[in-house]
Amino acid sequence: MNEHRVVITGLGAVTPLGIGVEDSFNGFLEGRSGIARVTHFDVTDYRSRLAAEVKDFQADRWVDKKSARRMDRFTQFAIAASAMAMEDSGLVSYDRNRAGVVIGSGIGGAQALDEGYSTLGKKGPRGLSPFLVSRMLVNMAAALVSIRHGFKGPLSAPSVACSTGSNAIGDAFRIIQRGDADVMLAGSSEACISPLPYGAFCSTRSMTPSECAENASRPFDKNRDGFVMGEGAGVVVLEKLEHAVERGARIYGEMAGYGNTADAYHLTAPEPEGDGMIRVMLVALKDADLGCEDIGYINAHGTSTVLNDKCESAAVRKVFGEYADSLKISSIKSMTGHLMAAAGAVEFVSTVMSVFTGKIPPTINYREPDPDCTLDYVTSGAESLDIGAAMSNSFGFGGGNSCLVVKKYQKNGNS
């Protein structure tokens, strides 16, 4: 197969720290928290009461009010993040038949489903809106982004729980690599801070019961006790290198490697020895044709759950050996909470920005070291580092693992 080089030329994000990449990434570097008590609905009777909600989001900045009412919040986020990524890329002239979309979600139209169940109970089936289907389907974000931009190439909407965003970007990377498209919009969106999904995750006891928003999400800290649900979207523009160079695009970085593995072990718990995590990082490194010492930074999955943080730390040490002590590692989930299916995409956007700017966001709320988590988690504020290549990890319920590697762009192909 003739493998084309793939570069990142546009970034878009909707996060609990801001609308847009600049506001969000600056917030990450400043160590600001987007976590507070839930405002979308009354959480008095719920085990957990905190979330990282997107603030001040106005859908009519990107779509007319009538269209916005026919979209679930997760689709609105995806539309906004995609529009920002396209504007950032400067793409104007391109073959629409060779431009595609891969944007996933985990739960899809959560608010639409909640509202639909409520209407069904009160008014019966005749009370349901004909737009309920298009609001709740997981593929609607990808489909409406495709329609908005007239992208007629490959279209898909992966749903792989918390690794969805990374899988979407990795799949789009492969599509361009093998020559099936020149341009891809790729990422993920989630807006599931709604009574049913929020309550369901409360019942798993995987979310923190903490009432203290300031330090509720504390990845790798000894006293971590669960994740905080968040919402948002991340989308990137990927391009075939020749296509980007020909139009004089600004290049943030080069896609170098992608790994995708399964634990094949348990519905919610990671494999105890970190087998799938280890293999996915090794696969991504091999795909990137890089050695361990070529990686300067890892944007960790780092959920603030006891098992994940312990297993991920052990897996990194297994893969990188003695060099693991030289790696910079951080989890922006300490600030954004867990954006669920959107996490991998937003974290990849952050990783790309770290490579591009040489700035690494910190892991906030780290107070007490855990003897099972002994790496450098960048806990004393943002750090500066000339990063040749970086890795972004995502691991999801059901045992799905994905890993993306991005490297600094060099014309000769070497980082």
What is the tens place of the pLDDT at every residue in 13-34?
999 999 999 999 999 999 999 9
Check pLDDT > 90 for residue 163.
Answer: yes
In the prediction, which pLDDT does 153 show?
98
d(CA 127, CA 119): 6
- 137: CB partners within 8 A, 6+ apart: 108, 109
**One-letter amino acid for residue 139 of the chain:** N
- Grade residue 2 by pLDDT with cuts at 50, 70 and 90: low
- Grade residue 413 by pLDDT with cuts at 50, 70 and 90: low
- Locate the DSSP E strands across 285-355: 297-299, 328-330
Check pLDDT > 50 for residue 1.
Answer: no
**Residues forming the active site:** 162, 301, 338
Pick the closest to residue 77 from 100, 101, 61 (CA basis): 61
Length of the chain: 415
Does residue 85 contact residue 167 with C-beta atoms inside 8 Å? Answer: no
What is the per-residue pLDDT across 224-249, written as a single tens digit (0 to 9) for each? 999 999 999 999 999 999 999 999 99
Please name each of the domains of the chain with its CATH number: 6-246 (3.40.47.10), 256-407 (3.40.47.10)
Check pLDDT > 60 for residue 382.
Answer: yes
Using CA atoms, how far residue 365 sits from 73, 212, 223, in Å, is 29, 11, 10
In the prediction, which pLDDT does 411 show?
82
Check pLDDT > 80 for residue 412.
Answer: no
What is the per-residue pLDDT across 32-54, written as a single tens digit (0 to 9) for each? 999 999 999 999 999 999 999 99
Any idea of the CA torsion for 280, 107, 330, 185, to the nearest 10 degrees? 80
Check pLDDT > 90 for residue 297.
Answer: yes
- Grade residue 151 by pLDDT with cuts at 50, 70 and 90: very high
- Grade residue 268 by pLDDT with cuts at 50, 70 and 90: confident
d(CA 393, CA 298): 7
| Residue 103 φ/ψ, nearest 5 degrees | -130, 120
Q: Per the structure block, which two tokens stand in for 349?
A: 């956007």
- Locate the DSSP E strands across 286-346: 297-299, 328-330
In the prediction, which pLDDT does 415 show?
43
Check pLDDT > 70 for residue 290.
Answer: yes
How confident is the model over 83-111, as a mean pLDDT? Answer: 96
Mean pLDDT of the chain: 96
Does residue 160 contact residue 169 with C-beta atoms inside 8 Å? Answer: no
d(CA 6, CA 1): 15
In the prediction, which pLDDT does 109 show?
93
Check pLDDT > 90 for residue 272.
Answer: no
